[in-house]
Structure 1
């Protein structure tokens, strides 16, 4: 329980740091020579609508409490609660924008905001292909040794590994996975980068398929 609470607190701190990076138009963990692969585009519209609704609620609650002549302490409590919720949602958006997937000469880094960070060494990647799935449950899940990192219930890239790697799930649990599905706004640059490896190694870049088999 303590470990989980520490990780949740870490998400908050990372999210707040991401807000600063977002304002500064900077990205985290994208070294020179690496390719950043954004993934937040598919959820931006829905998250923005959700954020707008929360801002409206914040003002509506304040107006309602004033109309009923609620004590200042009660109004301050709800203002803090709603304001923190708005800030937390902004932090999630910022963490996804400023922490993209990364392809570098060392391998592939798959992320979901502050919640997941998986490093796949180049030599562990056996094959990669484009897929189209719209039925993913949640943002991060492991089933039968397959990790899914979804955005808006979607994944569109599948990598298969030469042997399993150990990943750390958002709340600290560990799992071994031998394949990873994830989402990229534009998978082309990622596939092209890995295709360049195949000229030197045995990484297979398969043609675009309609679904995972």
Structure 2
């Protein structure tokens, strides 16, 4: 029973996140604060848009094909809900980008996952394209690397000066390295290197 309850809570939280994200998109209030944006939505946006286009075509087709009024109404309501849900998922990817703030790097995925890394704890950062098995947005690899995946991939690697514990929706992880996806990994690495004290001193 407990696993079922946990799964139910996750679905409820995701549903809330989707609608909050959609509301932010409609009102044009992205959660970005001050800092340099590092976007990750590009890898997923094309897939979500493909589902949206299919749904737009499918909803009226199903409505015309089903002969029973009650079933037709239920299918129409479900189709419209699904369409808005996909727009909300698309919004969630755009409303919560990674942010390079003056004092920290905020690595995020959608609304609830955020890893705050103080810039003075960054030892090194580099491009590092990797693919992973599984569809989880967070994955611990090699016991010391936490991957924040988009499309089962990461392309930026941040090494820390010491192990750091991060609290996430999936629990706590203590790691020395964080990997994440950026739509423009070269620009992301350059910006983090310019902001991190250890990287600046190394370059000097």
Indicate the TM-score class for this superposition, using the shorter chain for normalisation.
Answer: 0.7 to 0.9
Is contact 2:194–2:200 with CA below 8 Å preserved after alignment? no
Deviating more after overlay: 72-81 vs 36-45: 72-81
In structure 2, which of residues 22, 30, 33 is the aligned counterpart of residue 31 of structure 1? 33
Q: TM-score, normalised by structure 1?
A: 0.80
Q: Give the structure 2 partner of residue 211 of structure 1.
A: none
- Asked if 1:21 corresponds to 2:20, the answer is no
Query: Counting helix residues as a fraction of each chain, which structure ranks higher?
Result: 2
Partner of 1:141: 139
Alignment partner for residue 202 of structure 1, among 195, 198, 202?
198
Q: How does 1:44-123 map to 2 (within 5 A)?
A: 44-65=45-66, 69-70=67-68, 72-123=69-120
Q: Deviations over 1:4-54 (max 9, x none)?
A: 5334322222221211222333311x223x111111112221221122112
CA drift of 1:166 comes to 2.7
Summarize the Cα distance change of 1:45–1:145 in structure 2 as closer, same or farther, 3 Å threshold.
same
Contact residue 142 and residue 148 of structure 1 kept, 8 A:
yes
Choose the corresponding residue for 2:128, options 117, 120, 131: 131
> RMSD of the TM alignment (CA)?
2.6
Question: CA 1:169 to 1:73, structure 2 compared with 1: closer, same or farther past 3 Å?
Answer: farther
Give the match for residue 8 of structure 2: 5
Aligned counterparts of 1:3 and 1:187: Cα–Cα separation in 2: 35
What is the aligned partner in structure 1 of residue 176 from structure 2?
Answer: 178
Aligned match of 1:210: none
Q: Which runs of 5+ in 1 are unaligned?
A: 207-213
Number of positions where the alignment pairs a residue of Structure 1 with one of Structure 2: 198
Residue 152 of structure 1: aligned partner:
151
Indicate how the Cα distance of structure 1 residues 167 and 8 shifts in structure 2: closer, same or farther if over 3 A, else same: farther
Question: What is the TM-score normalised by the length of structure 2?
Answer: 0.83
What is the distance in 2 between the residues matched to 1:37 and 1:98? 12
Structure 2 CA distance, aligned partners of 1:10 and 1:205?
42
Question: Are residues 43 and 35 of structure 1, via their aligned partners in 2, closer, same or farther at CA, if it must alter by over 3 Å?
Answer: same
Structure 2 unmatched ranges of 5 or more: none
